[in-house]
Amino acid sequence: MNRLLAVPTRILSRRTLVSSLETGGHAHARKPVAMFSAHPAYFRPLGLILLATAYIPALYFYYDITFNERKAETSILVGLFGEEGLLRDLNLCVCFTVTGMVTFFVGRVLFFHNLNIWAA
């Protein structure tokens, strides 16, 4: 008999199926991790407020750069660092975009009560 046509006995034996949910494998199958044990009622509206307002400063400075030639941003930077300050040319739009990303993530954690990045 041809050995390539023969079915090995190892394939015929049943093996237990290991789920990636149990092993911590694929990200979409992981169990969400709770950040806090109890979820007070005020966390949900607080998270919604953070979600809604996270990018407002970034949008303000984006429109200031695009339509107003950085007048508001320059006046803030001159007031903080002076005319010859090293950080006078700092781009506040980028700073507030990164801050908005962190704020949006914190708001989502408060609103949905989990730390799973791929959830909700």
Tens-binned pLDDT, residue by residue, of the chain (120 aa): 566 666 666 555 566 666 665 666 665 555 566 666 677 888 899 999 999 999 999 999 999 999 999 999 999 999 998 888 888 888 999 999 999 999 999 999 888 877 666 554
Q: How many domains does the chain have?
A: 1
pLDDT at residue 85, rounded to an integer: 80
Contacts of 109 by beta carbon, 8 Å cutoff, 6+ apart = 35, 47, 115
Residue 57: count other Cβ atoms within 10 Å of its Cβ. Answer: 17
- 26 is a domain residue: no
Q: Can you give the residue range of the structural domain that contains 68?
A: 31-112
- 80 is a domain residue: yes
Residue 89: count other Cβ atoms within 10 Å of its Cβ. Answer: 10
pTM as predicted: 0.65
- 46 is a domain residue: yes
- 73 is a domain residue: yes
- 6 is a domain residue: no
